[in-house]
Structure 1
């Protein structure tokens, strides 16, 4: 059997389903074929021995990425987004149905997006569909065509071509999706609460924060919970920023509501108190909140109320961030962080007593399970040989000009982070990040149920 292996990796530290162990991993035809003790004499065409300061982790699965291609490729694109992903240890992304043009709200748009992504993807790519007013008849065809679920907004999405659902339309979508046991993922901020909040304008961050109050998020989460209770639909709350919502989510689960939740590295890293006025690179919706709120989000992860951590990489061109005037009311809301998620989360996690096993559960295993990916997120027999070689005790200072996403802007610029991604492997082959991606991209386009 050893003569048939394509790759053997030996590591003193492997983050596996059994914990952190020393193991030798054998790969054949892109899948994990053998897991043996570290001192096993397995051989292969290629043998790699990790350094003592390196950890072999599953490849990161980031199920919340806005690639914006086609239509807004000047914001981002499949080539640049997947290069950034690979540089950050991410081996699988799931692309949001907006802000591309057209949005992925019918099968024709999905096929256009797949055609656009083909031959550009350096990591594996799946797709979400969209749930917007009037497209309920399109939901089942999109599901049968392989989308991993459906995203909706409960307030203006930021782009006119992806309108939000009102409560009646939300219930209609949930009932339709429940019929085929799909998943609805929700941007949960209540439109009426936002309309009644102070208007976002000017360069003072606290004014912007007041324009997106946590009460708007809490109200929307409560609405989603009750509709999920009535309809039986599986729901997932996106980018939780308000810790107030966590007890509601926990209570709903105890009642049998099928609900999961995520948060993002920026909510776990930054605090409202540290954001300078006019620093619109920090603007996102829902917003980064106070330090006490941040710590309660970490507790939500500790208690298992928050299931996963994903980037919500939502870039734009630099001019749309309005850095020249610093106006939070008109700047585009989105954080560019696809390449930095693992290090950002590890920086905060280790300071709070978490381990890489926890991080892998939040960023590898959890997102794969949420999207029903059958071969991703674990180092286990039969799974794709997607690996991140991570040096948790190394460190670096973020330089926006060295990141791989298209537009060099991120609030992480100048911030020291713990943990360095040394290499990324997709189905048993190393992605040539250090060589400048000279090899052709080998990412596959994933369909629900086939990945």
Structure 2
């Protein structure tokens, strides 16, 4: 037999069955087999990580790339380079903040044209569900979007309005009719308010956990009534957990995610005027954060994804009432989550499940998210013990704004392989599209 193209060995290879010594054999773009760590294998390249960890490439299903139209906020070249540097080998681009938003096949084609030749990792795309475009949903699905994103409250940009009342039901009925997925920003607009002042405390009070809980309850009711598969985005409030757990126990097709910033940051430690911490829904208390970790451990929350939603620095001023709400963390999510997960007694296998396997399953991406024979050879060499000081100016994000600036995170990505090739030069990412 001809030699393998690549072998990567590690005494800490993170597989779906847990962490173990292994030699990962790669032929072409796929994992051919897992062998004992010290197995003699003929290969064009043999990399021995020894006691460093080998993780599956992460799958981040919640990324706002913003190109075309707002490429000065973030673009495909910068976003996918940041993803690879953070151990992410697949992203799913959100339909809003780009101009035009991805609410029709024509808009998707414009996005594909803008992204072509720029992607350092593989990229899938969400379509958008907005008032008046229900007839566009099936054609978008047939063109290959992963599913559909909608808001139950204002999105922050006028070209992507929320679905209210009967519009949300009609969109869910349409999506259920062809077996699609709706991912939802769930906050009840009736329970939101304008901040009463410029401080973080006033902003936090304007978006209470009760608004998330009420919206999630309504979404669960609609999933029960329509049969639609729904996924709750960026859960920040632990007040949602009992509603989600009950839906899961009932067997409803309802899943949910949270984000690194909700698991690692806390309202009590947001510095005065530090608007890099502003996001919607907001970062809540340390006690709330502890409950989110419990929900993650219990499986009530299945995925941890970035909700990377950057902007230019001028939009993050002058105060919490006026600043753009979005966290930039695509390159930092793995290290941020591992820092806190390790402190709480979790293992790398847990992190790989939350940040690779579960998002891949959510988005219907077979061959992604796990080190297993037949899967794409998306691999990450990771030093879990390294201390990583964060300097926003040295990140690949287009704009040097992140709440993690100045923090020391645990864990460093050393090499990222996409389908068996190191991500270190010319972009070789692909679009994850196909008729469904």
Residue 71 of structure 1 contacts residue 102 of structure 1 at CA under 8 Å; is this kept in 2? Answer: yes
CA deviation profile, 1:264-291 (whole Å, cap 9, x unmatched)? 0000011100012211110000000011
Unpaired stretches in structure 1, ≥5 consecutive residues: 433-438
Note if contact 1:373-1:449 (Cα within 8 Å) is conserved in structure 2: no
> Counterparts of 2:20 and 2:111 in 1: how far apart (Å)?
40
| Aligned partner (choices 358, 363, 377) of residue 369 of structure 2 | 377
**Is structure 2 residue 323 aligned with structure 1 residue 344?**
no
CA distance in 2, matches of 1:167, 1:218: 17
Distance 2:90 2:247 in 1: 30
1:321-365 per-residue CA deviation (whole Å, 9 max, x = no partner) reads 01xx3x211100000000000000000101111000100000000
Alignment map for 1:156-195 (pairs within 5 Å): 156-194=154-192
CA distance in 2, matches of 1:419, 1:114: 34
* 1:366 corresponds to: 358
Q: Secondary structure at the match of 1:67?
A: coil
The structure 1 segments of at least 4 consecutive aligned residues displaced by more than 6 Å after TM superposition are none
Question: Partner residue of 2:110?
Answer: 112
1:78 aligns with 2:76: yes
Q: Provide Cα deviations, 1:232-273, integer angstroms capped at 9, x if missing partner.
A: 100000000010101101101111211000000000011100
Distance 1:288 1:403 in 2: 22
Which residue of 269, 285, 292 corresponds with 1:290?
A: 285
Aligned partners of 2:143 and 2:435 also within 8 Å:
no
Aligned pair 1:203/2:198, yes or no? yes
Tell whether the 8 Å contact from 1:203 to 1:277 is kept in structure 2 after alignment: no
Deviation of 1:201 after TM superposition, in Å, equals: 4.8
C-alpha distance in 1 between matches for 2:9 and 2:164: 53
Note if contact 1:201-1:330 (Cα within 8 Å) is conserved in structure 2: no
- In 1, Cα distance between equivalents of 2:337 and 2:434: 27
Q: After alignment, is 67-76 or 111-120 more displaced?
A: 111-120
- Which of 344, 348, 371 is 1:356 aligned to? 348
Q: Which residue of 2 aligns with 1:49?
A: 48
Match of 1:232 among 223, 227, 230: 227
SS of equivalent residue, structure 2 residue 35: strand
Alpha-carbon distance in 1 for matches of 2:361, 2:208? 31
Whole-Å separation in 2 of the counterparts to 1:18 and 1:38: 16
Q: Which residue of structure 2 aligns with residue 430 of structure 1?
A: 422
- Which residue, out of 384, 389, 403, partners 1:411? 403
Aligned pairs, number: 436
**Once the 2 structures are TM-superposed, how far is the Cα of residue 167 of structure 1 from its aligned partner?**
1.7
Aligned to 2:91, the other structure's residue is in SS state strand
CA deviation after TM superposition for structure 1 residue 431, in Å: 1.1
**Cα deviation code 1:11-50 (max 9, x no counterpart):** 1110012211111111111100121111211111111111
Structure 2, unmatched stretches of 5+, are none
CA distance in 2, matches of 1:188, 1:140: 23
Q: TM-score, normalised by structure 2?
A: 0.99
Q: Which residue is equivalent to 2:146?
A: 148
- Listed one character per residue, the Cα deviations across residues 133-166 of structure 1 (whole Å, up to 9, x for unaligned) are 0100000000000000000001110000001000
**Is the Cα–Cα contact under 8 Å of residues 8 and 27 in structure 1 kept in the other structure?**
yes
**Is contact 2:248–2:300 with CA below 8 Å preserved after alignment?**
no
The 5 A counterparts of 1:210-359 are: 210-322=205-317, 325=318, 327-359=319-351
Residue 255 of structure 2 aligns to a residue whose secondary structure is strand
CA distance in 1, matches of 2:38, 2:24: 11
Over the aligned positions, Cα root-mean-square deviation in angstroms equals 1.0
What is the CA–CA distance in structure 1 between the aligned matches of 2:23 and 2:271, rounded to whole Å?
Answer: 48
SS in 1 for 2:103: coil
In structure 2, how many angstroms separate the alpha carbons of the residues matched to 1:39 and 1:421? 23
Q: For residues 48 and 416 of structure 1, what CA distance do their matches in structure 2 show?
A: 28
* Residues 2-13 of structure 1: pairs in structure 2 closer than 5 A: 3-13=2-12
**1:448, 1:330 → 2: CA distance?**
40
Q: Distance in 1 between matches of 2:89 and 2:158?
A: 31
Distance in 2, Cα, partners of 1:291 & 1:44? 49
1:105: Cα distance to partner?
0.3
Which moved further from structure 2: 36-45 or 141-150? 36-45
Is the contact between residue 212 and residue 286 of structure 1 (CA under 8 Å) also seen in structure 2? yes
Alignment of 1:130-149 (within 5 A): 130-149=128-147
Indicate which of 58, 61, 64 corresponds to 1:60.
58
Look up the SS of the partner of 1:244 in the other structure. Answer: helix
TM-score (norm 1): 0.95
> 2-side partners of 1:349 and 1:12: how far apart?
21
- 2:428 aligned residue (442, 446, 451): 442
1:398 equivalenced with 2:390 (yes/no): yes
Cα offset, 1:448, TM superposition: 5.2
Q: Is the 8 A contact 1:71 1:100 kept in 2?
A: yes
